[in-house]
Structure 1
Amino acid sequence: MRLRPLRRAAVADDPDGTISGPARVDPRTKALTKRLKAGDVAVIDHLDMDRVSAEALVACAPAAVLNAARSTSGRYPNVGPQILLDAGIPLVDGLGQDVMALKEGARLTVHDGEVRSGTTVVATGVLQDAATIEADQAKAREGLSDQLEAFAQNTMDYMLKERDLLLDGIGVPRVETKIEGRAVLIVVRGYHYKEDLAMLRSFIRESRPVLIGVDGGADAIIEAGWKPDLIVGDMDSVSDSALTSGAEVVVHAYRDGRAPGAARVAELGATHVVFPATGTSEDVAMLLADDMGAKLIVAVGTHATLVEFLDKGRSGMASTFLTRLRVGSKLVDAKGVSRLYRSTISTWQLVVLILAGLAALAVALAVTPAGQAALELLLARWDDISTTIRRFFGG
């Protein structure tokens, strides 16, 4: 994985690189970004920062990101730290758990790797730069073979535990939403999901697929202007408004039947069923759609590569590999479609094209009697308007 050139951070308050701002503290990056604002100092506890989390932080434009954990542990070459540095957001790593005890809103001062609250030094870590990131990535690439072995072992374990579910669909709950014979669009709030959803507007308008949001993917569907038919997940990142939008809810539970998200759904009065399974919520959505007779499954924002599986940070991501094999004949991965079809026509080219069209139209009008009469009428009208304007300002 080749690292892009690093841009210098442009958010320092002082010429010597000192940064200050109010602390926003949360061990879960996904939860923190919901309230993080420009100029805040994000305090997180995120081992191996993934692409989605880093991009969510960049969108909030914090003054700095302070990580109690190591943003790259060496397990695999994750790209989160580089994304922050490329965006000019300072990242201080390995600050330890003391930094998580900071009070929400406390005024912090960050200089190099030192974090102060008032005059007290709270913690000291490593200020990431191009050299430290490259060193971490080099170690991570060396450890990738171990992750491959672990991934293969997890895949075998999952296949043994869930073979009845994978092969025969045993355990898949019944839902009221009609899926048989229809196309299904599964939305996960993953890489480039917004752009890909925008590119699929014509498909959604013409095919009218069943819209399934995986946790926060339900909010992504609503933000794009549609209404989800089904919401699948453990309910840790979907909003209350999405859960009460009228969509049918499938709560992903642990294999032993424990479903922490079910209590929240019940409190909101949303109709729901429980689906115990070992894998991830996106696996559950795919298996449900396949078992209920979907003729086509289109996936947006889902995980498809080894690094993406490792980015997810769960050993259970091996289940996604097998799930994709299970529904492979129906599955179309729409991730990246926006980059495939992105327009390369620049603004000035469009302006030149419009001007050329207008010139061609003027020439066509000038060589016909009807066109000449129309042009004379337009010129006379323009002369009247310009005379009126001159009289108005002259008077």
Structure 2
Amino acid sequence: MRGKVRCGHVTKQVVSALCPGDIAIISHTNIDELAARELIERGVGAVVNCAVSFTGDYEAQGARVLLEHCIPLYDCPSHPDLLTQLSNGENVIINGHYLFRERDQSMVTRLAPVTPEQWEALRHNAEKNMPEQLKRFVENTLRYAEQEKKRLFTPLVSLPLRTSIAGRPALIVSRGKYYKEDLHALSNYIVARRPALIGVDGGGDALLEQGWCPDIIMGDMDSVSDKALRAAQDIVVHGYMDGSAPGAERVKQLGLAYHVLPAPGTSEDMALLYAYDNGADLLISVGAHSAMGDFLEKGRQGMASTLLVRMKVGGRLVDAKGLHHLYPKSGRMRLPLLHYLKTWV
């Protein structure tokens, strides 16, 4: 197999640069399903991982999805400097269990193929680990919930945004599992009700991909494109409780106006809280992270802030995660659920 290298420590940045047939070189322990599907959509030729694609600690699905789509997957965790040893656009060859530079046929590293049989064996281990993993996750969540409850129940400050939120629905889009399919399923609802469209980081690009211009982009600004930032009416950078706001520098370099919003928890939590505190009569979340697996894939060992936020906003929240499964033929939401979302407050 021959191909051009696209490499980086952040998988979603590698994905955005991929051309069909490229070989992605990443460092992604327990590849998640969303990352795998995006690699496949971009036409990746093979994936070389400088980490362990599936450890068996929990049921990360990315390796399985790549293998099911016949994408060659190799691990080489003992060679982390591969990401800097090769250059983007360089031609390489994968032959057997080895990676070679095409220009001089020199061997770069030995590769360990990931097989369906290995994945299945590790999955059984993950099943056995699940009760203990869940116990630790719950304990961590409850411990931090006790510490964070006061901050999370204090209303967020109101910002002088151009986008009006009060008295209208707010559609809050994150890059979680099924976000593309679920956003597509909501197309008719968006046309009918014109909710405030809030993209959480890369959720702004998700809206653009479906033909919708984001009203507000909120988050750390680490996974949203310049195009989406320039298209949004308002940009809200997540400010942390220690006073820092790392995402502000990027927006400033683009010459765009922005606001910093100090808020505890994740950027998804911030978006839900802001819409709630500023009078949105209905919150519809797409691609939200709300289960243990979602958080483990993000490297979080608990979900204290998300648990507390959902306790607070739950009376107005409709979680549209997996909505497209209810509309397998057209992929778009129709009555009676459209009517339900029009009238439910």
TM-score, normalisation: structure 2: 0.88
Match of 1:54 in 2: 36
Match of 1:191 in 2: 177
* Partner amino acid, structure 2, of 1:109: I
Tell me the CA shift for residue 161 of structure 1.
3.6
Tell me the CA shift for residue 61 of structure 1.
1.6
**What is the alpha-carbon distance in structure 2 between the residues aligned to residue 219 and residue 293 of structure 1?**
25
**What is the alpha-carbon distance in structure 2 between the residues aligned to residue 154 and residue 274 of structure 1?**
29
Tell me the CA shift for residue 233 of structure 1.
0.6
Tell me the CA shift for residue 246 of structure 1.
4.3
Paired residue for 2:98, among 86, 110, 114? 114
SS in 2 for 1:42: strand
* Partner amino acid, structure 2, of 1:21: G
Paired residue for 2:73, among 91, 94, 101? 91
SS in 1 for 2:311: helix
Paired residue for 1:34, among 2, 13, 16? 16
Higher mean C-alpha displacement, 211-220 vs 144-153:
144-153
Tell me the CA shift for residue 93 of structure 1.
1.2
Match of 1:22 in 2: 4
Identical pairs, percent: 43
Higher mean C-alpha displacement, 77-86 vs 152-161:
152-161
CA displacement, residues 266-298 of structure 1 (integer Å, 9 cap, x when unaligned):
232333222233422111111111111211100
**What is the alpha-carbon distance in structure 2 between the residues aligned to residue 285 and residue 217 of structure 1?**
11
Whose RCO is larger (CA < 8 A, sep 6+)? 2
Match of 1:162 in 2: 148
Q: CA RMSD in A?
A: 2.0
CA displacement, residues 138-196 of structure 1 (integer Å, 9 cap, x when unaligned):
22223333432332233234323432232232x44434232222111001122222222
Matched, 1:181 2:172: no
Paired residue for 2:292, among 292, 306, 309? 306
Of Structure 1 and Structure 2, the greater helix share is in 1
Structure 1 gaps, min length 5: 1-18, 346-395
Structure 2 gaps, min length 5: 332-345
**What is the alpha-carbon distance in structure 1 between the residues aligned to residue 90 and residue 254 of structure 2?**
34
* 1:1-395 alignment, distance < 5 Å: 19-95=1-77, 96-100=79-83, 101-117=85-101, 118-169=104-155, 171-176=156-161, 177-315=163-301, 317-343=303-329
Tell me the CA shift for residue 74 of structure 1.
2.7
Provide runs of 4+ in structure 1 moved above 3 Å: 315-318
**What is the alpha-carbon distance in structure 2 between the residues aligned to residue 77 and residue 217 of structure 1?**
25
Higher mean C-alpha displacement, 61-70 vs 152-161:
152-161
**What is the alpha-carbon distance in structure 1 between the residues aligned to residue 27 and residue 232 of structure 2?**
35
Higher mean C-alpha displacement, 269-278 vs 193-202:
269-278
* Partner amino acid, structure 2, of 1:313: G
Higher mean C-alpha displacement, 108-117 vs 48-57:
108-117
Bigger Rg over Cα:
1
Tell me the CA shift for residue 131 of structure 1.
0.8
Conservation of the 8 A alpha-carbon contact between 1:187 and 1:214: yes
TM-score, normalisation: structure 1: 0.77
* Partner amino acid, structure 2, of 1:85: L
CA displacement, residues 5-35 of structure 1 (integer Å, 9 cap, x when unaligned):
xxxxxxxxxxxxxx22121111111000111
* Partner amino acid, structure 1, of 2:242: D
CA displacement, residues 239-270 of structure 1 (integer Å, 9 cap, x when unaligned):
11221224211111332121111011123233
Distance 1:106 1:333, change over 3 A: same
Higher mean C-alpha displacement, 186-195 vs 48-57:
186-195
Higher mean C-alpha displacement, 322-331 vs 311-320:
311-320
**What is the alpha-carbon distance in structure 1 between the residues aligned to residue 182 and residue 240 of structure 2?**
31
**What is the alpha-carbon distance in structure 1 between the residues aligned to residue 200 and residue 139 of structure 2?**
26
Distance 1:294 1:158, change over 3 A: farther
